[in-house]
Each structure stands twice: as C-alpha cells, then as structure tokens.
Chains A and B, each alone.
Chain A
Amino acid sequence: MDDFGSLFDEFDVLGAFWVNIQLTFWAAIFAMVLGTLLAVMRISPVPSLRWAGTTYVTLLRNTPLTVIIVFCVLGLWGQLGITLSSDFQRNFFWLSVLGLTVYHAAFVCEALRSGVNTVPVGQAEAARAIGLDFGASARLVILPQAFRGAVAPLGNVLIALTKNSTVAAAGSVAETSGLMREMIEFRPDVIVAIFLIFAIGFVILVVPMGLATTSLSRRWSVAR
C-alpha cells in the first residue's frame, strides 16, 4: 500500500489523467459540431454535399487515428508551420485535439445517421404533408428524434474518444500512456501496480459513461 502512495507523490498521475480528460472534452465538443454538420450534409437533397459528406466519412473512418495525429503534428506543424497556440507544448495539445476531432466527427456522423434511421418513414411523410420543407422537417421533426435515438451510439463514440485520447502520445502530448512508460522506467519493481493504476483509472472514467448512456438512451428513447 505504501508503494501506491509514493507513486502518487512521485508522479503527477492525476495531472496526466486531467490532460486526457481535457483532450476528450474539447475533441468531443468539436467532433459533435462537425459530425452534426456532416450528418445533415449526408441526408440533404443536394448531391454535391451528400458526396462531400460521404467522401469525408469514408476517408477519415478508414485512416488509423495514429496516422492522423502524426500527420497533424509532423505534417501540419512540422511541414506547413501551422500553429494553434503560441505556447510550444500547448500547440501539440491543440493539434492532437484537431486530429481527434476530425477522426471522431466521422463516427459522430455515422451515429447520427443511425439515429435518423430510427425515425419511422411515416414521420417524415407527415412532416412533408403539413407542408414543411427539408430544412424545417429536418430541424423540427427528424433531428430531435434522431439525437434521442442516437444516444447509445454517441455514447460509444465518447467512450472510444476517451480511450483514444491516449494516442495523443504520438503527438508529443504528455498524457497517461507516456507517463506510464516513464513511471515503469523509474520504478520497474512495481510494474504491475503501475499498470493497474492506469487501467483502473480508465475503467473509472469509461464504465460510468457506458452505464449513463445506456440509462439515458432508455429514458430518452421515443416510445414507438
């Protein structure tokens, strides 16, 4: 038990987890916005927007997140000189948020589309019948129900995003997977304890999210 205490004194474990939580928070917000936009594009009547949305999702969903984050750091910053923050370390943080965002937006889009699929055809027909155009029927009838139907898949995207925030290590962000590596290097005697600290940390973060989305998706589901 002493080992655990000294590990927390010696290393900023909570600080590392806090970085992951921040990465997840910002990427979740931006991915939600971008993903909703993509989902509207993909169900819109305009062929060129539909095509652009589909292409985006196909490309981003099939690229490994690690490649995207390495691209953001080595490509956007290293080659093109794009900086998102004047602070050197903070710049890597925001570039990783960018990578996490563009990757997970594709999955948010797919989750929302699966939510749209839960809305019965009759509802769209009724919206058309009372004279709503595409914008109005999407905004007033389809999307509100689609969001409620998409709670469970959106929750899965959030869980995946939380775990995937560790990949920011590939973008030189000092977060949990990097700290774990450092801690094992300095304290190889308690290697299993170190692994358990990080593993259980993620269990604590992720399992409540799973339980919350399950119960929310039940509570918010539209009775049909």
Chain B
Amino acid sequence: MSGSVLFDAPGPRARRRMVWVNLVATIVVAGIGAYALVLLNEKGQLDAALWKPLFTANAWQNFFLPGLKQTLVAAGLSIVTAGIFGFVFGLGRLSASRTVRWLAGGVVEFFRAVPVLIMMVFFYMALPRLDLISPPDVPLVSVVLGLTLYNGAVFAELVRSGVHNLPRGQREAALAIGLRRPQSLRLVEVPQALIAMLPAIASQLVVILKDTALGAIVTYPELLSAARRFGSGNGNILQSLVIAALVFILINWLLTRVAEALAGRVGRRTAGRARVEAPSMAVETATS
C-alpha cells in the first residue's frame, strides 16, 4: 500500500489548506536547518579557513583518496571471502545430512549474534600472537575476517531462505528430468535463489562498505581514520568528518539505487520471490 491511499485526491478547499500546511512545514524544516547553520556560524565552524583545506590537492592525494582506497580494498576482499563463506555454509544448511545442517546452522547463528567489532578486536589482538602474518597487515586482516564471518553468515541465510522461497515445481522438474538432489540444488535451485536474492545481496554490500569504518577502531587506515587524521592536523575535524560522511553516503546511495534497479528486473528473471526471511532471526538490514 502506498501512502497516497491515506488521503483523497484533494478538492479546492483541501488543496488550499495543503498549500498552507506545506508552507508552514517548509518554514519549520528550513528553520531548523537555518538555526543549525546560525549555531555553527557562532562557533566559527563556517569560516572559509576551515573548509578551504578540504578542497586542496594535499587533502585528497594524501588523505581522502588513500583512505577511500583502503576502504574499498577491505570491502572488496570481504565481499569475495564472505561470498565464499556464505555459499559453503548456505549449501551446508540445505544439506541432506542432519549433522551437517545443524553444524552449519550453529556456525551461522553464532556469527550473526556476535557484534562485528568484537570479532575485529579479537583478531586484532590475537593475530600478532600467532605470528602468521606480518604486523603491518594485521589491521586489514582483522577487518576482513570480522566482516567475512558476520556477512558470510548473512549470505548463507540468504542462500537458504532464497532456496526455501522457490516454488516447489523447480525441484520437482529437476528431479523429473533425472537430476539427483545435490545436482538439482547446485544446478537449478541455488542459481535461481541467488537471482531472486540479488537485491538483498546488493543491500548487504552497503552494510559491508559501512562496516569497514569500524576498521578505524582497530587502526586500519580507512576513510574515517584518514579524515580524523586530516581533521586533527588542520583543526577542522567537523568539516573533515562531513566530507568522509558525504563520500560514504554517495557510494552507498549509488549501491542502493543499483539494488533497486535489480529488484525491478529480477521479477522477470526467476520464479523465486525476492523476499528476505529467516526462521529464528530475519536477516538484518540495520548494521552499522
């Protein structure tokens, strides 16, 4: 149901009233914004001297772009590894063997319940003691491991609920032409489920990208920590954080638009329904 059903097509009187209400609401909303700007101005935060350094080559070449690159590196690596983790454990949850199903289910539920930051901090503290990787790589590896375990668990859940949402005819047809169950799963059901789940997968990519900012807490030099360093060096921390936020918003907004476009297209590509649901805990959309 769309919001527009809540009110009739307005008549002349209602239209006049709406113009007034709209005007008043605009003034209130704009007023709040203007008040915030006045406050900022009083504190001297709108001074050109604080904003100018953000638009210099130094800011972007030495801080924001390298930070963004590190963010994208961590996000890219995590997407690949989380995809593999999700595929393996998603198939595990659909396995014919009860033991495998339970084991995969336990792993998935565990990593979905533990906060990503707790995992990142653990790896950040534990990896140097194992002496497996060189110390400069520790922050990146802990960020990627944390993101992989959590988002991989979410991907596994997407594979599982995607297959469960397929019409039964898909499997029946696969079995009827002589495929065995694992073959039907691998060749027919999972590919169909993945297409149906593309919009949910795409919005999970936004989650991964946002969560890379947690890396700032474990000394990974991504966009947020680059902005902090630049801001504290130039005394314009507020302004630097605004720029970092805008970069994140722009990328994630573009990703969301791609997800919406996909959602519009997949309806025609598969009989599966693009619906995200899971038995004990539905897949989250609200992680940091």
Contacts and interface: CB of A to CB of B under 8 A. Distances in A.
A18 B283 CA distance: 26
Contact of B288 (A45, A65, A125, A207): A65
Contacts of B279: 214
A48 B114 CA distance: 40
B286 A64 contact: no
Contacts of B244: 67
Interface in A91-135: 103-104, 107, 110, 116-117, 119-121, 124-125, 128, 133-134
A36 interface: no
B6 A43 contact: yes
Contacts of A78: 237
B29 A49 contact: yes
A158 B29 CA distance: 28
Given A163-B287, A195-B122, A177 B249 contact: no
Given A80-B43, A169-B217, A177 B6 contact: no
Contacts of A161: 286
From DSSP, what is the main secondary structure of chain B's interface residues? helix
A188 interface: yes
Given A121-B1, A125-B5, A160 B286 contact: yes
Contacts, number: 204
B211 to A, nearest CB: 7
B5 A46 contact: no
Interface in B226-277: 228, 231, 237-238, 241, 244-245, 248-249, 252-253, 256
B: interface residue count bin: 35 or more
A166 B115 contact: yes
Nearest to A167: B288
Contacts of A58: 249, 253
A64 B213 contact: yes
A138 interface: yes
A87 interface: no
Given A80-B43, A198-B118, A191 B213 contact: no
Given A45-B10, A121-B5, 20 more contacts: A46-B18, A52-B25, A59-B249, A64-B248, A66-B217, A70-B216, A74-B231, A75-B237, A104-B286, A110-B285, A116-B1, A124-B1, A124-B6, A163-B116, A164-B288, A195-B126, A202-B118, A203-B113, A207-B280, A211-B280
22 contacts: A45-B10, A46-B22, A48-B25, A48-B26, A58-B249, A62-B248, A67-B244, A68-B245, A71-B241, A71-B245, A78-B237, A79-B237, A80-B43, A80-B45, A134-B6, A156-B284, A166-B115, A166-B117, A188-B125, A207-B113, A207-B280, A214-B280
